[in-house]
């Protein structure tokens, strides 16, 4: 559903946003990007002035690097933002039910999904709400991460958020990448239609 049609119907809520180009994955024609055995995937011209807030939904069904991470960088005009400007805090539990609270300060990318295990049946998901990525103001976000890390249904769970408190640039896209190995899954970006 296009934004014009959605507005004509008086609807509100989430509207799937189609990136102009994708590198490392395949757009299904509506905006959801699928990737297979990829080490990085970039979505260009995804954020724009139509929306202030966005929801990004990630699903990973297979990885080749045990104990790796899926991470994210914002993009502008086709280039990743890799300055030391990403700050995050998390409360979480590992697959062994151990508390895992941590903080990331001044990193060059955002923590997105931990791959604690590559056993058969593992699946991971992350929901990321980003505020004002396209505006020239401070970026903030909230995250919820879930993982079923084996066929025996051991779980990982993290809840947290972050910000880029010392930059005020406009960003129009994202790159997701693995710290080691590859990943298979999908990403969808939705705009909050106010």
Domain positions in the chain are 3-83+109-136+167-193
Kindly write down the DSSP assignment for every residue of 22-89, as one continuous string: EESSEE-SSS-EEEEEESEEEEES---TT-SEEEEEEEEEEESSTTEEEEEEEEETTEE--SS-EEEE
Kindly write down the DSSP assignment for every residue of 163-194, as one continuous string: EETT------EEEEEESSS-EEEEEEEEEEE-
What integer pLDDT is reported at residue 164 of this predicted model?
Answer: 93
Indicate if the alpha-carbon torsion angle 58, 63, 68, 71 is positive or negative.
negative
Task: Read off the tokens for 35.
Answer: 């990737």
Beta bridge partners of 81: none
Residue 20 has phi, psi (to 5 degrees) of -70, -40
- Selection from 89, 86, 133 nearest residue 110 by Cα: 86
> Is 3-83+109-136+167-193 a domain of CATH 2.60.120?
yes
Per-10-residue mean pLDDT of the chain, 194 residues long, equals: 44 88 95 95 96 96 79 96 95 80 94 74 90 94 86 78 91 95 94 92
Beta pairing, strands 123-131 & 21-23 = unpaired
What integer pLDDT is reported at residue 1 of this predicted model?
Answer: 38
Quick check: helix, strand or coil at residue 8? helix
d(CA 82, CA 186): 23
d(CA 31, CA 62): 21
What integer pLDDT is reported at residue 90 of this predicted model?
Answer: 94
Quick check: helix, strand or coil at residue 107? strand
DSSP structural state of residue 132 = -
- Selection from 117, 116, 130, 105 nearest residue 192 by Cα: 130
């Amino acid at each position: 559903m296009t934004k014009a049609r959605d507005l004509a119907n008086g609807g509100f809520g989430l509207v799937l946003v189609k990136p102009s180009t994708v590198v490392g994955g395949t757009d299904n024609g509506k905006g959801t990007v699928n990737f297979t055995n990829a080490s990085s995937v970039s979505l260009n011209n995804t954020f724009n002035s139509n929306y202030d807030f966005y929801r990004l939904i990630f699903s990973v069904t297979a990885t080749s690097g045990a104990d790796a991470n899926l991470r994210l960088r914002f993009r502008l005009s086709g280039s990743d933002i890799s300055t030391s400007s990403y700050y995050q805090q998390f409360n979480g539990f590992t697959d062994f039910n151990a508390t895992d609270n941590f903080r990331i300060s001044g990193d060059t990318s955002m923590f997105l999904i931990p791959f604690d295990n590559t056993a058969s049946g593992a699946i991971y998901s992350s929901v990321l709400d980003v505020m004002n990525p396209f505006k020239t103001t401070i970026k903030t976000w909230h995250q919820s991460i879930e993982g079923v890390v084996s066929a025996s249904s051991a779980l990982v769970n993290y809840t947290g958020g972050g910000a880029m408190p010392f930059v005020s640039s406009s960003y129009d896209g994202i790159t997701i990448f693995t710290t080691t190995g590859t990943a298979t899954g999908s990403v969808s970006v939705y705009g909050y239609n106010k």
